[in-house]
Structures are given as C-alpha cells and as structure tokens.
Amino acid sequence: MLRRCSKHIQTLYRRQGQALRLKSTEVPKVFGALSQAAARQARVVVAANNQIASIHFTNPLFEVQDVTTPNFPDSVSEGDVKLDKKVGDAVAADEIVCEIETDKTAIPVMAPAHGIIKEYYVKDGDTVKAAAAPISSIPVAAIRHAQAIETATVKVPPTDYSKEIAGTRTEQRVKMNRMRLRIAQRLKEAQDTNAMLTTFNEIDMSHIMAFRKKHLDKFTKKHGVKLGLMSPFVKAAASALLDQPVCNAVIDGNDILYRDYVDISVAVATPKGLVVPVIRNVQTMTYADIELTVAGLAEKARQGKLTIEEMDGGTFTISNGGVFGSLMGTPIINPPQSAILGMHGIFERPIALNGQVVIRPMMYIALTYDHRLIDGREAVLFLKKIKEGVEDPATIIAGL
C-alpha cells in the first residue's frame, strides 16, 4: 500500500484488517532506531498471516512499488513462479524480475522502474494466479524535480498514427475513407467470387533494358516522355490477350462475356490508396502511345483528378510491385476481370544459358486467373507469350 505524507514520517501498521497511524517520533518504539542511511530508503516487512508493515518517507526521491502477477491468457488460470533475481539485486525499468511458467508459455514479470528488490512475497516454484497478491517490492529511486525538468524525456502520441509509431502504447481509431472502403469491398468480392490460381514465369530483362538504353534519348526527344518498362509489358500483354481471348473474357451469370477490344488497367499507388486507370484499345497502340497515356493518367491520379470514366471498365490489369522492390507475389483479380499480371523487381541472378552459367537481370512475373473460366494450359501459354514479347519485341511486330 502506497501512502504519501506532507509533514511527518508516517507509519502504517496493518494487522488483521486494523490500522494504526503513528507519528514520526513514535516510529522507534515500534521498529527500533533507524540509521541515517536507512532514513533515505523505504522498507517493507512481511510477517505471517499477511501482516504487512510499510514505512513511507516524505522524501520524494524514494517510494515503494509492489510487483504483481500480470494478466494471463484466457485459457490459463495459474502458473509456477521461477525467480530470476535475488533479494538485494538492482533492477532497471522493464527488466525481468521473474517468470511465471504456465502450460503453454512463460510469462515474464517486469520491474515497474529502477530500484532494488527488498523482498519476495512468494518462493521459487510457488503457484500463483492471475492478478494475485504482489510478488515482490522494489524501492524505486526517483529523479530530483530540477533534474527531471532538464533531462526527462516525455513521449507524446503521434499526430498521425498512420505515419508514425512513437511507442506511447496508445491507440487511435480512424474512420476508413470511401476509397479504402471501396477497395476493401472489391478485393473481398474478388476473393469470394473467383477461383483464383497463380502461375509464375521469369523474364530475362537484359535485351529490353539494352533496347531502352540505346533509344532512350531519341525517344524522349521525339515524344517528350521517357521510354520506361511499362510500355513493353502493356504491349506484350495485349499481344497475349489477342492470342488467348479467354483471358480477356469474364463470367457473367451463366454466360461468358467475350470482348472484342483490349482495355488494360494499370495499378497506380496514390496517397489515398490504389487506383487503376484504364488504357483503352491497347491492341492498336505503340510504345509511345502507351507511355504518353500512362504518364498522363499517373499524373492525374497523383493529383486526385481522375474521373470515374477513366477508371471504369478494363478487361485486364497489370500491377507493378517491382517499383517498391518486390521479389515475388500473387496479385488479386480486379473484378469484373478474369486475370491480372504481377510485375516484380529486377535482380541479377545466375541462370543457365547455352550450357553456361551467366549473370542476368531477371524478373519474376505472376499471372493470377479465374480458374472457373481459364484452364491451366491457357494461363501458362498466356504468361509465356508475355515473356516472349518482352524479351524479344520483334515477335510482336512479326505477329509470332
């Protein structure tokens, strides 16, 4: 029991539910003379039958804190004490004083602050219950008020919990914005509706990267936009969709809806969430057309100026997690579509080429598809077609 005094050294003696309050001049009659050194620390004495006598001093530098058993998991009611420290040991704040071993785990018991262990209320091996009587008492040295003002660090909860964790052990509930609610709804619908399956392949990016490096300056000068890696993938995906029209279709009730056009949605990350603007009629577009369209849609997305019409529809989606360093992943279908291509990061890896081991910049690609409509054969051939179109764009021009 913690009690503070304003004028006198106060003694509280508890026996069988009765309390007796004594002034400081009467303390020696009960406990004997206190030495000058002992006068600067609190002492806890434990007697039989839960008779506890505590001496608390008005000096703000010291106080006594009891360490109690923590809360247990719902399925655990008791545990055995395993002492890690001895009486007289100095402990720091949050240092383990002892452990409570249960049937499922060992629950650590932490010191509430810096101090010295004066006495244990339990023995090693004793069985205790959750939130039971104190386990030990620790006189805790406080910091002088003047020093506290100069050196103490006070943690303040962050102003925006979504951008910072300050360690104050507080929580903040924030209402989801409409965009995030819609994204969550559509992703859950896709998961509940489609029989999603993912197949993988890998692409040797050395040829397309060399092509891009060779023509970058001329391309930028002529079209006013840089030649990126998105346009080869979008064009290769359009070629693969023309080769496998079922990947461009969708189930509608008891019917299959085939589309005689290729509209590719490109996932763009914005501060408010993921948006998927649509590139229309990709089957007729060149690399320059694709790059100009993607650049314009991405800029409008970052500014929050995309219209509903620019995000509506789409027969296929490309998601590029590689811009964030993703090695591999399984994208989720964007309804009402039947497949989505996941691009990933480019990393140098050793591969076997013509009987030799060489180092090449490689990218894993993933195709998630609705297995209700698309069979494994079509999915594998589709992804292989994209691989060929990126590694050798001439195959697209030649119609191979």
Active site residues: 371, 375
CA-CA distances (angstroms) from residue 301 to 268, 298, 341, 397?
Answer: 7, 5, 20, 31
What does the H/E/C string look like for the chain? Answer: CCCCCCCCCEEEEEECCEEEEECHHHHHHHHCCCCCCHHHCCEEEECHHHCEEEEECCCCCEEEEEEECCCCCCCCCEEEEEECCCCCCEECCCCEEEEEECCCCEEEEECCCCEECCEECCCCCCEEECCCCEEEEEEEECCCHHHHHHHCCCCCCCCCCCCCCCCCCCCCCCCCCHHHHHHHHHHHHHHHHCCEEEEEEEEECHHHHHHHHHHHHHHHHHHCCCCCCHHHHHHHHHHHHHHCHHHHCEEECCEEECCCCCCEEECEEECCEEECCEECCHHHCCHHHHHHHHHHHHHHHHHCCCCHHHHCCCCEEEEEHHHHCCCCCCCCCCCCCCEEEEEEEEEEEEEEECCEEEEEEEEEEEEEEECCCCCHHHHHHHHHHHHHHHHCCHHHHCCC
Are the beta carbons of 300 and 306 closer than 8 angstroms?
yes
